Chains A and B, each alone.
Chain A
Amino acid sequence: MSAAFDERIRKNLADEALQQAVYAGTARLAAKRGEVVADAVLPDYQELRAQANAVKKHTIENLDHYLRQFEANVAARGGKVVYCRDGGEVAEFIVKLARERGVSVLVKAKSMTSEEIGLNEHLEERGVEAVETDLGEYIIQLARQRPYHIVAPALHMTRYEVADLFERRLGVPRETEIERQTMIARRVLREKFLAAGMGVSGANFLVADSGAVALVENEGNIRLTTSAPKVHVAVAGIEKMIPRAQDLAVFLKLLGRSGTGQPLTVYTSFLSGPRRPGEIDGPDEFYVVLLDNGRTRLLADQYKRQSLYCIRCGACLNHCPVYRKIGGHNYPWVYSGPIGTVISPQFLGIAHDPWLPFASSLCGACAEVCPVKIDIPNILLALRAEEKKQEAREKKGRLERLGFRMWAWVMCHPRIYAFAGRMAGAFLSSEDGWISKPPPLMNVGPLAAWMSRRDLPPPPRRSFRDMWRSR
């Protein structure tokens, strides 16, 4: 970890208002989830998780088949599927389409995939205005930040900060009541919906057997984004596929419950092609952009490919002691929390942020609440092992490896181990009952770094062996 990163975390921990906002927000979501997955309410919750895991595993293992099936069904309904390697290609496609159709403003539905590829920034650079229409996303777009949380992007902001932001960016009187703030955003966004020539959404699920894009939301903005403009583009990672519409019976039950504690989100939409003869409204053109952006590389790993099962519910963030302390903006990429520590190194390459798989206590809460049963702690261990092998290949961490070799040698020699224990008991002592740094001559290198975040109990004056002998 870099010094700058350390400093950011310290600042985060010292910010009591921020700690309170994140703790309260995540605790509320976690409690609501707990209520709706309880045995008394949803007795088959574990069966639903097992089914979701089995369906995702099957889909990923046969993904080429379902991609082709999905494409054929989208085309049969008058839509078009486009394949893109990365965010640059997605932006290139949307900008070209916007220029050809004379579109200068487009409205967007909340989408982590578009955050992943920095779509808004790409579009802005090329002169196309992209307006987020989910309230939380709109707030962070105005604040020029990235989402703090997968489900609740403005989780970290108080209503007073939003009041200042709206006053500064929208030129409206300072308003601290949340309902009134919502009405301000609604007024601004309604104008954008009517002016936009294109709508861009993500996809919660791509349904292969019907060629449908399934989207869930609570605000109604996705309905408007997908039906008001004349052109609609849905941008989705290839892993969003599920085989059958029937499978939604399982996934929709799990997604709302795990994410926001709702049995079902307020709006659930299924888009399957442009408007048809006899329909008055809806887009004239319908495109689905299927994105790779590192996913095919991840597919090649038989164990870690389960990371692609993720349905972006955010439950692992709400239950993670590390996320709840360090917050969403201290992770290096848009995906934060436990799922971020797993997918970021795999999408970006482990060399991008080699420390990331270590930013976990491995408590296992994430795996307990994951609705598709991704084994996050064990994937983290696999990533840690990869990082250590990489260090060895690059001849890094020599001191650490030497230390562990010496430790192994001592452990294999009982007399030397007993001697080392007696020495430690004699020389390592503490007045307050804890050792918080190594002895002066050893307070350097990896040992100093390791001890900077840990306190150890001092070794006992008499070892167990000594006590056993004199019993």
Chain B
Amino acid sequence: MMSRENLLHRVRTALGRNVDQPPAPAPPPRIVVPEAGMEERIARMFAAIEALAGKTYRVPGAAGARDTVAAILDGRCALASDSCFLQECGITALPNVRSGVSERAELRELAATLAAGITSADYALADTGTLVPRRRA
């Protein structure tokens, strides 16, 4: 197996750099956030999801979210993630929704067999319609 020092030595020799030589300043990062109000962002988000045949719903509050999920499930069983937001909306309390599973084997079995999965998101990207959950699913 190639040693760490061997590879780093080869890289430094090829580049003409010394051990522990600090890097030259990196180019400043380029992050451009498009200017848009909340309504426009929501509209963009919905358009991006619907362009890929996804469905979107806008609800006035927690109860509306719970009722919408219940209507989508239409009696089918679902597995929900441990998101606090889902709990606040009362979604994890729906009779046909399982959540709070702490055993790996049981979680896999449920994920493989139940009809639907329910997650929340830490961020939603308007431009691409992307949902960002931060923890490992």
Contact = CB atoms under 8 A, between A and B. Distances in A.
A246 B128 contact: no
Interface size class of chain B, counting residues whose CB lies under 8 Å from the partner chain: 35 or more
Given A64-B12, A65-B22, A281 B6 contact: no
A85 B6 CA distance: 9
Interface stretch (A44-52, A124-132, A161-169, A337-345): A44-52
A61 B24 contact: yes
A44 B26 CA distance: 21
Interface in A46-74: 47-48, 51, 54-55, 58, 61-68, 71
Nearest to B24: A62
B67 interface: no
A99 to B, nearest CB: 15
Given A63-B11, A292-B7, A296-B7, A58 B137 contact: no
- Which of B1, B2, B27, B29 has the largest count of A CB atoms less than 10 A from its CB? B27
A165 to B, nearest CB: 27
B7 A249 contact: no
B43 interface: no
A280 interface: yes
A299 interface: yes
A290 interface: yes
Contact of A280 (B8, B23, B102): B102
Given A48-B30, A62-B17, A281-B136, A71 B24 contact: no
23 contacts: A44-B32, A54-B27, A55-B27, A58-B23, A58-B27, A64-B8, A64-B15, A64-B17, A64-B21, A65-B21, A67-B11, A81-B4, A85-B2, A85-B7, A93-B1, A194-B108, A238-B11, A249-B30, A250-B30, A264-B130, A275-B136, A296-B7, A299-B14
Interface size class of chain A, counting residues whose CB lies under 8 Å from the partner chain: 35 or more
Given A51-B27, A227-B136, A296 B11 contact: yes
Majority SS of interface residues in chain B? loop
B26 A89 contact: no
Contacts of A357: none
A279 B135 CA distance: 8
Interface string B51-85: 01000000000000000000000000000000000
Interface of B: 1-4, 6-8, 10-15, 17, 21-24, 26-27, 29-32, 48, 52, 101-104, 107-108, 112, 125, 127-128, 130, 135-137
A281 B108 contact: yes
Contacts of B7: 67, 83, 85, 238, 290, 292, 296
